[in-house]
Chains A and B, each alone.
Chain A
Amino acid sequence: MKPTVEDGLRILREAAEQAAQIRIELTDDYLALIARVEAMPENQPGADKSGRWRGGIPELKAALSRVRLKPTVR
């Protein structure tokens, strides 16, 4: 059966409801991970983070523009 716009809207509605119900807990394990990362030598006060930034949309677009898809044989 061909999907309809209503089907699409229903799926989006259900996904939104599910996202609203997700509960992420800050468990002891997670907090311990955070403490370990904060304690790393490269994360101490005065650390040089000049090279850490690459998360912008322009950089993402530039990176994607360099992607070349290779055909695969199955």
Chain B
Amino acid sequence: MTHPLAPLAGALAARSVRYVLIGVSAANLYGPTGQAIFATEDFDLFLPLDPANLIRAWESCEEAGLELWLGNEPLDRPRDLWLAEQMTARQMLTRVTGPGELKVDLTMVMKGFDFEGVWSARRPFLIEEIEVPVARLLHIIQSKHAAGRDKDKLFLATHRDALEQLLKKPEEG
């Protein structure tokens, strides 16, 4: 099965876009196959406050055949530096959609963290031979704790148990 993020990750890498995968989909990558997997539709990509980088991210999405949205509306055109500067100044999120109910959020906000701190501690994992920068699990959990939304609390309430199961299994085998 092709990983749904792989085509976009390839396009992002080709354009040297700086981003870090965060959120539940990133936390999932720390679990082995068949364990500690939390269902999610979303891939959250944390981007720096850099308009030129944001433009390259948009171009990568378009190249990968994905659609860009701002709220419920298609992202305005031209998707130029002026638009990127406006969105960066307001830390606005770009929603990306694609085949198979793919949903990717290009966000410039990670509660409790700035981009450089997360970037410098990132873990480069490989997905279908493409390097994907992933946030440290610790940072993902700390950010969810800081955000404190109901869905974050639900995740945290179950995540600890999932980790315990994950660490217990090899010892039992």
Contacts and interface: CB of A to CB of B under 8 A. Distances in A.
Nearest to A43: B30
Nearest to B146: A26
Interface stretch (B54-62, B75-83, B89-97, B121-129): B121-129
Contacts of B141: 26, 30, 34
A24 B145 contact: yes
Interface residues of A, number: 33
Interface of A: 16, 19-20, 22-24, 26, 30-31, 33-38, 42-58, 60
Contacts, number: 102
A52 B166 CA distance: 14
B138 A31 contact: yes
A56 B141 CA distance: 20
Given A42-B32, A52-B28, A57 B41 contact: yes
Contacts of B154: 19
Given A45-B123, A47-B126, A48-B125, A54 B137 contact: no
Interface residues of B, number: 43
Contacts of A56: 4, 39-41, 100-102
B101 A37 contact: no
B126 A49 contact: yes
Given A45-B124, A52-B33, A60-B39, A37 B166 contact: yes
A39 B32 CA distance: 13
B124 A46 contact: yes
A33 B31 contact: no
B13 interface: no
Given A34-B138, A37-B30, A60-B39, A55 B153 contact: no
